[in-house]
Amino acid sequence: MQHCNVAFNQAKASELEDCFDPEIVLYTQHGEFRGRKQVMRYLNEQYFKDAKDLHFQMSPHDIRGFGDALWYSYDFTMDKGSEHRAGHGVAMCRRQEGKWRILNMHNALLEPASESNTGRHP
Per-residue pLDDT tens for 106-121? 999 987 644 444 444 4
d(CA 16, CA 19): 5
Residue 4 lies in a domain: no
Residue 118 lies in a domain: no
Burial of 15 (0-12, 13-18, 19+ CB in 10 A): middle
* 17 in any annotated domain: yes
| Count of domains forming the chain | 1
Residue ranges for the chain with pLDDT beneath 70:
51, 112-122
pLDDT in tens, 88-106: 999 999 999 899 999 999 9
Q: Which domain, by its residues, includes 43? A: 9-110
Would residue 32 count as lying in a domain? yes
In a domain, 2, yes or no: no
Residue 57 contacts by C-beta under 8 Å, 6 or more apart in sequence? 5, 76, 77, 78
Q: What is the CATH number of the domain that holds 20?
A: 3.10.450.50
Q: Is residue 122 part of a domain?
A: no
pTM of structure: 0.82
